[in-house]
Amino acid sequence: MDDTALLEAIAQARDTDAFAELCRRYTGRLCSFVRGRGLDDAESVVQDVMLTIWRRAGTFDPTRAAPATWIFTITRNRSTDLLRKRQRPTPDPRDPAFVTTQATTSTPAPDKAAEQSRQLAAIERAMDELPNDQRELLALVYIQGTTIAEAAKALQIPLGTAKSRIRLALASVRTHLSLEHSHG
């Protein structure tokens, strides 16, 4: 059976034998590829990639890419996400930027508080206008603080789709806020 047929068997019948064969064919090459990108824990990355393939085999389109290209693209994206996450600096809680001072904890002036309240209400109204998928993604990224890649993984959508939805959502919120501001 060729790789396309294996992916089809996984997608259509959840064929565990086909999946085992695909793992046998690709695990070694993917581990080498991941190690070549500078990651020591290649086995866990590849395990995650294979789980993604199991879940998303139905999204493979043989008219757009060869199976190996699709599989290595998933692997490249996953390893890039992991490298980026590791390169993020760890915040130092003693950093002056994180130390709360009396000035930052004092109550804002009444006019500032009223303006902040109006702005928050306007943002909430703008977010209420968004489709559920965009609103959920914005909440994960901007309220819960996850990365776009983590949010995409949690929602089981491709990273590119997540980025597009974020862009669309932010553009919609900006438009809504500017219209509200021009009418207010």
Using one digit for the tens of pLDDT, what is the confidence trace for 58-80? Answer: 999 999 999 999 999 999 999 98
CB 141 within 8 A of CB 149: no
**55 and 121 in a common domain:** no
Domain, as residue range, for 157? 108-183
Q: How far apart are CA 154 and CA 150, in angstroms?
A: 6
For the record, the structure tokens of 53 come out as: 């393939």
Q: What is the CATH number of the domain that holds 166?
A: 1.10.10.10
**Number of domains within the chain:** 2
Whether 76 maps to a domain, the answer reads yes
Closest C-alpha among 26, 67, 60 to residue 46:
26
Q: How far apart are the first and last CA of the chain?
A: 65
For residue 78, give every residue at least 6 positions away whose Cβ sits within 8 Å of its Cβ, in sequence order, or none.
45, 48, 49, 52
**Residue with tokens 């991941």, as numbered in its chain:** 34
| pLDDT single digits (tens) 136-157 | 888 888 777 888 888 888 889 9
**54 and 22 in a common domain:** yes
Whether 101 maps to a domain, the answer reads no
Whether 178 maps to a domain, the answer reads yes
Q: How far apart are CA 96 and CA 110, in angstroms?
A: 27
| pLDDT single digits (tens) 102-138 | 445 566 677 787 887 887 778 778 888 888 888 888 8
Examine the fold and report which residue of 31, 54, 87 is the final residue of a domain before the chain moves on. 87
Q: How far apart are CA 32 and CA 56, in angstroms?
A: 23
Q: How far apart are CA 155 and CA 163, in angstroms?
A: 13
Q: pTM of whole model > 0.95?
A: no
Whether 143 maps to a domain, the answer reads yes
Whether 96 maps to a domain, the answer reads no
